[in-house]
Amino acid sequence: MPHHNVKKAEAMSFSEEVTCRHGGETLTACYQCGTCASSCPVARLDSRFNPREVLKLALLGEKDELLSGDAIWLCTSCFNCQERCPQNVEIAELMFTLRNIAIEAGNSPNIYADFGGALLADGRIVAISKFVEKKREEFGLPPLKPVGVEDLNKILEATGFTKPEKKEASQ
Ligand code: SF4
Ligand code: SF4
């Protein structure tokens, strides 16, 4: 198969992979107008992020670039873009979908492994630190009690949630 046909087949399979998933269904409605990028507070502050670019890479099947890069993790889920997209593309939902694919491929920032581990162990995304305990005491707040995690873990298991793997340290 000529190279450009191979690329085309790969592109189709990745955008299909995204549109078959919950939250990814609207990807192919994007016609690259850029309204999302001009509505995005993160894009204004950080040149690594542009939602239109993220969707373009997904549409072109640039899976490796997308899943190994920082961009999909920078969206703050403010939904500004999604409110304004003329094509009703669910952009913020698409970011979640792409993150799920990245986690399954072992490509998530290490902080997510910490969040996942804390959720499974304590039912909280951020583990309670000595610092927080001390501050609560200083402010006259009662100590945080452990929350029951048995029921939560049953739900997480039923949804297929597993703790994301930590990446090998690169330095
Ligand atoms: S606003 Fe909607 S159609 Fe326009 S580039 Fe963004 S996602 Fe695509
Ligand atoms: S939801 Fe994400 S991509 Fe959309 S405007 Fe907010 S930060 Fe930007």
54 Cα: distance to centroid of ligand 2 (angstroms): 11
Which residues, in sequence order, are CB contacts of 159 under 8 Å at separation 6+?
A: none
Domain count, the chain: 2
CA distance 51 to 29: 14
Q: What is the pTM of this model?
A: 0.81
Range of the domain at 85: 9-104
Per the domain annotation, does 33 fall within a domain? yes
88 and 54 within one domain: yes
CA 37 to ligand 1: nearest atom = 6
- Which of 85, 104, 123 terminates a domain? The answer is 104
95 shares a domain with 139: no
**37 and 117 fall within a common domain:** no
CB 109 within 8 A of CB 145: no
| Ligand 1 geometric centre to CA of 143 (Å) | 47
Q: Which of 46, 57, 78, 87 to mutate to test ligand 2, by most ligand atoms within 8 A of the CB atom?
A: 78
How far, in Å, is the centroid of ligand 2 from the Cα of 55? 12
In tens digits, what is the pLDDT along the chain, a chain of 171 residues? 455 555 555 555 899 999 999 999 999 999 999 999 999 999 999 998 999 999 999 999 999 999 999 999 999 999 999 999 999 999 999 999 999 999 888 888 888 888 888 888 888 888 788 999 999 999 999 998 877 888 888 998 898 887 777 766 544
36 and 51 in contact (C-beta within 8 Å)?
Answer: yes
Measured from the CA of 80, which atom of ligand 2 is nearest? 5
90 Cα to the center of ligand 1, angstroms = 9
